[in-house]
Amino acid sequence: MEDPDGEADPEGEPFSFTAAEADRGERLDKLLACGLDGLSRTRIRSLIDQGRVSSLGRTIADASLRVKPGQTFDVLVPEPEPALPVPQEIPLTVAYEDDDLLVIDKPAGMVVHPAAGNADGTLVNALLWHCGDRLSGIGGVRRPGIVHRLDKETSGLMVVAKNDLAHGGLAAQFANRSLSRTYHAVVAGVPSPARGEITGDIGRSPSDRKKMAVVAGGKPALTRYRVLKAFGTWASLVECTLATGRTHQIRVHMTHVGHPLIGDRVYGVRKNGIRGASKGIGPGAASARARGLPEPARDAVVALGRQALHAVALRFNHPRDARPMQFESELPLDIQRLIGSLESI
């Protein structure tokens, strides 16, 4: 399933092991099983088959590889599956609902479904309370009704399927790209030209498996954009339309062309930052990242606390009778405040 701006699947914590002189010529699977507590040789082979073992950023596919002294291997062990989600009375902003589907305006800070580190308090927990057993089962018991996802810190419109007919019909529209998703983002700098397309295959970053990146051999991705408003040369409000739906696509593509999203803690670090900024434009090393911005924009960037990305429009045909459906969502207050501060520069 394509997953516009969705969360990357949890990767767990990486383990590293460096071969010593005494390990020369040892099989990789045997060496790692002996060197990493709690992992059997069978488990190591499984992790290798899943592409979770690498060396110097290159995935290792051969469990029988004979190691050399000094070689360092990184092993990503996935987090254990969370418990089955339970209904929780969590308020939802419902833009539309009928017997087949509902459209949700998801707030920033809400995870879509339970995963490692987020066992509850998710959109799925809220949907189970709101809909009971009236949710599609195609996504499995941990993701009932979920046809697509948004990042935890991305706000905006999502469509949820109440039954398998709706799920199948919506998934087909995602697959044939007839379902339209439009986002507004505040990015560093001003893209040039003011309207265009960003291409670049997206896959796991070879240097950080918890991140996505434009990489050779990744999945084809296409983002169309247009600049809606420039705030001097500091930043701009950009409309992005997804022609494909890859994990973190907008964030990765905008960073790739030198205009990362303001507030993005993962991808928002660039060599030159917003003009005059030392490293990037998100929270964390907040004061350093906003350095160079005039007041009050600097404080607004620090206060944002998330990437400035909102799903503003969603268009699809109803899966039961094919009637056109169109929904729009206003920018949330935190992004409005950011824009207001940038307009004052």
Active centre residues (catalytic) = 151
Task: Give the Cα separation of 155 and 120 in Å (integer).
Answer: 18
Task: Give the Cα separation of 236 and 308 in Å (integer).
Answer: 11
Task: Give the Cα separation of 60 and 206 in Å (integer).
Answer: 12
In 3D space, the residue among 107, 99, 53 whose CA is nearest the CA of residue 77 turns out to be 53
Q: Please give the span between the terminal C-alpha atoms of the chain, in angstroms, as a whole number.
A: 42
Q: Is 14 helix (H, G, I), strand (E, B) or coil?
A: strand
Q: Give 89's contacts (C-beta < 8 A, 6+ positions apart).
A: 126, 129
In 3D space, the residue among 140, 139, 142, 141 whose CA is nearest the CA of residue 159 turns out to be 139
What H or E segment, with its residue span, contains residue 212?
strand 212-214
Kindly list the distances between the CA atom of residue 275 and the CA atoms of 225, 289, 301, in Å, as whole numbers in the listed order: 21, 11, 14
In 3D space, the residue among 88, 78, 61 whose CA is nearest the CA of residue 116 turns out to be 78
Q: Is 313 exposed, middle or buried (0-12, 13-18, 19+ CB in 10 A)?
A: middle
